[in-house]
Amino acid sequence: MPLAMEMPLQHALLSDGWTIKYELYEPNVHTSSCLGTTQTTLVFIHGTPWSCKVFVPMAEAILAACHCRILLYDLAGYGQSQAFETSATQIDEAGFVGDTSVKTQAKAFAALLERLSLDGKASGSVRPVVIAHDIAGTIALRAHLVHGSEFSSLVLLDTNTVLPWGDGMYQLIRSEPQVFIQLPLPIFEAVVRAMIRSAMQRSDQAWEDTMAEPWIGSKNAQRSFVRQIAQANDADVAEMLDQDMYENVRCDVKIIWGAQDQWIRREKMERLARLLGDRSKSFVVVPNAGHLVMLDQPERVVTEIVAWLTQQYLVFPPEQSLRLRRFCDETEFLNGIGQFKYLTPRCTCISSATALAPLNLTSNVPLTFDFGDWRCDIGLEAAMRANTIRRAAQWLRSEALNILTLLVFAAVSLGTFLAPPTPKLRFTIFGPHGDLISPQYAYAFREPTMPTWANGLTAALAPIPIMLIAQFWYRSWRDFSNGVMGLLLAVLGACTFQIIVKIVIGGLRPHFFDVCQPSVVFPAAAHDGSGWRGLTYDHTICTEQPRLVKDAMMSFPSGHTAAAYASMLYLTLYLLSHLKPFSGRGRDWRLVLTLLPMLGALLIGESLIRDNVHHVRDVYFGAMLGVMWASAAYQMRFESIADHQTNDVPK
């Protein structure tokens, strides 16, 4: 059955007073399945303020390419589903008749799937592939997690599924709905059209007119438009977030986001991917596309969806399945970390009399395998190597200046450390009556519990394995690379600052006299120094090796502590953002793990006081340097420190 822009939705479902119109399109008899022997049902759900018409180009292309069924329907209060039974009148606090909230929409969607035996519950019921856009992401997830509808898989297009729910104009309309209801019709039409244009990257007057038509021209249409925004309730999303429902998703999910989307920020989509955990299998960024990604780049979105279907449903002989599965796992992991595009099969049915035209989904260097009746050209090792090299080159170019900065810090630290201490420190040993007046420098020498080299390696490298482990859940190269680059900046920055202060200012360690072994012997040479009564001396009276004496004159500030606090506080901030113990749904063990690194930093600092390596002031000032650099470096690499909704979003 061909689709058209003016397509009538012939069938209806009554739900909470709304007459919800839908149509189930059967596969084209002239196409053979690109999905093996499986007949798949695709369900498209639109968002606000759209209708199912936004999916027409995609649905037509998929029906032409694949032997599958497609369900299109309009949400309650949208498109062709605006009829409401007065006997079921519901009036909310703002005076709107009929409920169009996400909670109601999810209930209706679950009921529609059950009617069509597409909810996967009963015997013989099909599990569909659900493709949801905008608020429909929350609708689909509520139908799945709250009402128990089962999906084969889920494709989310620029979905609004995390808080804050709705930005900019939507927040304004929700806060003052009556103001927008009272706007003159021409002004209101201008507002609606401006919102529609902001959702598209490329201008298209025909589509703008199509999407604006249901909401303009009358006060009833104007009131309906304001109603569907005013009734959007944060609580419907907060309920799922607060109860960690996204962790219970029972199907694989692919996320597609338009790179120029002004409505849904990328951080929201990335946060959703993290909340979904292992169920999030792919995150695809579509360039030159706005919020209506399926209209801006329909060919690319169709390609991604067919690729997803091919991967989900194409069945290979057992002897080849292991190798292909290993490839898919590697690709998914790389896709999550480096946001690689799926390298999915181009499949041609060669056993059927009617062959399907190959889908152009592979790299330029295909590697051919024969799977019985199916021949699949898959760009495997060569394509993966090419993508890896290209992504690595892009990352190196973007981080070149930052890497140079880190190298400069390292060079300055090493060069300054090797320089002689300036100015030369002067000190007193005895008073005018021969009594010892500087006992704070007379402690016995003890090797520090943690050598300098071990402290440096621990500070620079210890957090990295933890960040790697986090990628089993986050699967984000930006998260890992930003985490490591921020860590190195914090540690090298703190080390550079402290070594400069050591050389320029310095200070005597508590064991200075024991290391120095001064040649002055009381009382014979007690007044051979300089200053008042010859009581002041410099390092020239030391009899030990100059290298040891130099180190004993660089007490302030503590380098061990600066590096430890820079590294461990940075790791604490990383764990704080990724484990989210203060998010309102935290667990005690998350808080314990988050604070454990700070215990390590505290032990390192206090051990230096115990070992007579540093004074208390040295350790405290070193800790201050570490805290400063850790906080600044984390804020530079991630969106925030304190906001639990954005502090795990890499910049």
SS3 content of the chain, % helix, strand, coil (to 5): 50, 15, 35
Q: Which is higher by pLDDT, 227 or 28?
A: 227
Q: Which is higher by pLDDT, 363 or 502?
A: 502
507 beta partners: 554
pLDDT tens, residue by residue, 216-251: 999 999 999 999 999 988 888 988 988 889 989 999
Decide if 202 is inside a domain.
no
Q: Mean pLDDT, to the nearest integer, of 131-160?
A: 95
Local structure of 616: helix, strand or coil:
helix
Verify that 569 and 612 share a domain, yes or no. Answer: yes
Closest C-alpha among 463, 514, 519 to residue 487: 463
pLDDT of residue 42: 94
Buried b (16+ CB within 10 A) or exposed e, 449-466: ebeeeebbebbbebbeee
Verify that 329 and 469 share a domain, yes or no. Answer: no
Q: How far apart are CA 257 and CA 176, in angstroms?
A: 30
Residue 601 structural domain? 405-419+451-509+546-637
Which of 140-144, 360-364, 603-607 is predicted with the least confidence, judged by mean pLDDT? Answer: 360-364
Q: Which is higher by pLDDT, 310 or 557?
A: 557
Q: How far apart are CA 105 and CA 18, in angstroms?
A: 10
What does DSSP say about strands 346-349 and 374-378: parallel, antiparallel, or unpaired?
antiparallel
211 close to 51: Cβ distance less than 8 angstroms = yes
Please give the share of the chain, as a percent, with pLDDT higher than 90: 43
pLDDT tens, residue by residue, 315-325: 333 333 333 33
Please give the share of the chain, as a percent, with pLDDT higher than 70: 79
Number of domains in the chain: 3
Q: Which is higher by pLDDT, 22 or 82?
A: 22
Decide if 387 is inside a domain.
no
Domain end position, chosen among 281, 311, 341: 311
Verify that 478 and 334 share a domain, yes or no. Answer: no
What tokens were used for 464? 């990295």
Q: Please tell me the pTM assigned to this model.
A: 0.55
Q: Which is higher by pLDDT, 171 or 562?
A: 562
Q: Which is higher by pLDDT, 332 or 467?
A: 467
Q: Mean pLDDT, to the nearest integer, of 51-61?
A: 90
Which amino acid belongs to residue 253? V
Domain end position, chosen among 311, 331, 361: 311
Q: How far apart are CA 490 and CA 171, in angstroms?
A: 38
Give me the torsion for CA of 134, 135, 141, 146, rounded to 10°. Answer: 180
Decide if 481 is inside a domain.
yes
**pLDDT grade, residue 83 (50/70/90)?**
confident
pLDDT tens, residue by residue, 100-128: 999 999 999 999 999 999 988 887 788 99
Verify that 278 and 339 share a domain, yes or no. Answer: no
Q: Return the half-sphere exposure (C-beta side, CA atoms, 13 A cut-off) of residue 605.
A: 27
Verify that 29 and 143 share a domain, yes or no. Answer: yes
**pLDDT grade, residue 33 (50/70/90)?**
very low
Q: Mean pLDDT, to the nearest integer, of 25-54?
A: 76
Decide if 113 is inside a domain.
yes
Decide if 61 is inside a domain.
yes
Q: CB pairs under 8 A, 24+ apart, for 113-121?
A: 113/43, 113/143, 113/149, 114/149, 115/13, 116/24, 116/71, 118/41, 118/43, 118/71, 119/148, 119/149, 119/150, 120/149, 120/150, 120/151, 120/152, 121/148, 121/149, 121/150
pLDDT tens, residue by residue, 411-428: 988 887 777 655 577 787
CATH of the domain at 79: 3.40.50.1820
Decide if 215 is inside a domain.
no
Decide if 338 is inside a domain.
yes
pLDDT at position 535 over 80: no
pLDDT tens, residue by residue, 434-444: 667 788 888 99
Which range in 55-64, 498-507, 563-572 is most confidently predicted, on average pLDDT?
Answer: 563-572
Verify that 28 and 72 share a domain, yes or no. Answer: yes
pLDDT of residue 459: 92
pLDDT tens, residue by residue, 445-474: 888 888 888 998 999 999 999 999 998 887
Verify that 411 and 470 share a domain, yes or no. Answer: yes
Decide if 439 is inside a domain.
no
Q: How far apart are CA 255 and CA 131, in angstroms?
A: 10
Average pLDDT, the chain: 80
Q: How far apart are CA 490 and CA 450, in angstroms?
A: 20
Give me the torsion for CA of 324, 328, 329, 330, rounded to 10°. Answer: 100
pLDDT tens, residue by residue, 174-208: 888 889 999 999 999 999 999 999 999 888 888 99
Verify that 464 and 345 share a domain, yes or no. Answer: no
The H or E element containing residue 23 is strand 18-25
Verify that 474 and 574 share a domain, yes or no. Answer: yes
pLDDT at position 271 over 70: yes
pLDDT tens, residue by residue, 356-414: 333 333 333 333 333 333 333 333 344 444 456 766 787 888 889 999 999 999 998 88
The conformation of residue 162, written as its DSSP 8-state character, comes to S
Buried b (16+ CB within 10 A) or exposed e, 407-421: eebeebbeebbeeeb
Local structure of 498: helix, strand or coil:
helix
- Strand locations in 123-227, DSSP E? 129-134, 153-159
What tokens were used for 540? 């020239």
pLDDT at position 336 over 50: no
pLDDT tens, residue by residue, 621-640: 999 999 999 999 999 999 88
Phi, psi of 144 (to 5 degrees): -75, -50
Q: Which residues contact 289 (CB under 8 A, 6 or more apart)?
A: 201, 258, 259, 260, 261, 296, 297, 300
pLDDT of residue 251: 93
